[in-house]
Amino acid sequence: MKLINSDKAIAILIVTAIAIVFGLLTIKEAGQVLFGGSLYQKAAGNYVLFVVWFNFLAGFIYLAAGVGIWMRLRWAVWLSLLIAITTIIVFAILGIYILNGGGYETRTIAAMSLRSIVWISIFIFSYRKLIRRQVI
C-alpha cells in the first residue's frame, strides 16, 4: 500500500511541476509581448492581443492551480476544469477571429492546442487523484 501512496505522491509532484512551470513560462512569454517593447512584439509576429492577455492572466491562475494540486485541495480540481474550459472558449473565439480574416501565427494555434490538452489532462488527473479517491 505504501508503494501506491508513494507513486501517487510522485504523480502529484509531476503534475504540480507541469502546472507551475507552464504558468511561469506563460507569464514570461506573454509578459514579454505585452510589456517588453517592440523587439518582443516583432518576434511574436501576428500575435492576437486578446489571446496574449488571456494567456498572461491565466498564467497566474495556473500557478494557483498547481499549488492547490500540490496541497491536495479540492478547489484546485475545479480550478483546473475552469482553466481548461476558458482556454477552449478562447481557442474557439480565436478560430472565429481567424475565420473572419484576422491575422495570426500558426504557433498560436499550436500553443492553444497544447494548453487545451495540458489543462484537460491536469483536470482529469487531479479529479481522479483528489476527488474520486474519496468515493473509492
Predicted confidence (pLDDT) per residue in 74-88, tens digit: 999 999 999 999 999
Nearest to 63 by CA among 8, 108, 114, 25: 25
CA atoms within 13 A on the CB side of 79: 19
- Parent domain of 60: 2-134
- Mean pLDDT for 110-114 is 97
Which residue's entry shows cell 475552469? Answer: 82
What are the angstrom distances between the C-alpha of 122 and each of 41, 66, 73, 91?
A: 30, 9, 14, 18
Nearest to 84 by CA among 63, 60, 112: 112
Exposure of 92 by Cβ count < 10 A (0-12 exposed, 13-18 middle, 19+ buried)? exposed
Residue 99 — pLDDT band, cuts 50, 70, 90? very high
Q: What percent of the chain has pLDDT over 90?
A: 89
Looking at residue 1, its pLDDT comes to 41
CB neighbours of residue 4 within 10 Å: 8
Looking at residue 7, its pLDDT comes to 79
CB neighbours of residue 70 within 10 Å: 16
Looking at residue 133, its pLDDT comes to 66
- Mean pLDDT for 97-120 is 97
Phi, psi torsion values for 100, nearest 5 degrees: -90, 15
Residue of 4 and 57 predicted with greater confidence: 57
Alpha-helix runs per DSSP H in the chain: 2-35, 38-44, 49-70, 74-99, 106-126
Set of cell numbers at residue 21? 512551470
- Mean pLDDT for 38-55 is 97
This prediction has a pTM of 0.90
Residue type at position 12:
I
Question: Count of domains in the chain?
Answer: 1
Tell me the pLDDT of the chain averaged across its residues.
Answer: 93
